Amino acid sequence: MKSRLGIVGLAAISLAFITLMASSVLAVDVSKGQFYTEEEYQKLSKKEREAYCSALAEEAKRQEARLKDAQSKLQAERAKIEDLKAKLKKVDSELTPLETQVADLERQIKELEALPKEWTVKEGENLYKISGYTEIYSDPTKWPRIYRANRDKIEDPSLIYPGWVLRIPRGLPTMHTVVEGEWLAKIAGYWEIYDDWRQWTRIYEANKDKISDPDLILPGWELRIPR
């Protein structure tokens, strides 16, 4: 048994030595892209040619494995690209209507910005008539807002004079200055506030730091109008 093991071990060592010797006899390293010319190859010994051909075969296997790996990675990257294309197509389909909405909003904003913020009273005009103009509010019943914005000038809303320059408030206010005769429900009922007197609690909740009794608010107070 020991002699057999010794023979096997000796054979393995011999094979390794032969392989090492075969590789060492080559003056080129094909793994680094070094090759013999035809003339150089013809000058090689049989042992050197066998070693060279073996090295070429091993290098071919290595390059084939690298090619397969590269092809696999390429296929994976192409799959990612196709997936991104599909997602981009979906985003584009969602983006188009959004762009239309944005363009429409921009147009509306420009139209609103072009609306007058002041109005010079002409002969025969009253707040009701002015409020009904398209460029004002397109609704004559909204005249009280013009009145409220010009209380420093208008004492009687039924009496205004030609030449007066009236402020035309735009947008929804976020603050309101209390005047004589107002209470929370009345303020909440103004169309530019909430157009609903029952929403007065929103004003109360937003101004608890100032209002201790919701039935008692004082002229001159600046109240927050939550939106």
Query: In angstroms, what CA-CA distances link 15 with 22, 53, 225?
Result: 10, 18, 94
Taking the model in full, what pTM does it have?
Answer: 0.55
- Whole-angstrom distance, CA of residue 170 vs CA of residue 184: 22
Q: Which two tokens stand for residue 170?
A: 């735009």
- Whole-angstrom distance, CA of residue 201 vs CA of residue 4: 103
In the numeric block, the tokens 């429900």 are attached to 185
On the question of a common fold for 117-170 and 171-227, the answer reads: yes
Q: What is the CATH number of domain 117-170?
A: 3.10.350.10
- Whole-angstrom distance, CA of residue 221 vs CA of residue 219: 6
Query: In angstroms, what CA-CA distances link 215 with 59, 175, 186, 218?
Result: 94, 19, 11, 10
Q: State pLDDT tens for residues 45-72.
A: 999 999 999 999 999 999 999 999 999 9
Q: State pLDDT tens for residues 135-144.
A: 999 999 999 9
What is the fold of 171-227?
Answer: Membrane-bound Lytic Murein Transglycosylase D; Chain A (3.10.350)
Q: Look at residue 27 in the predicted model and tell me its pLDDT.
A: 85
Residue ranges per structural domain of the chain: 20-86, 117-170, 171-227
- Whole-angstrom distance, CA of residue 199 vs CA of residue 225: 11
In the numeric block, the tokens 């914005």 are attached to 149
What is the residue-averaged pLDDT of the chain?
Answer: 89
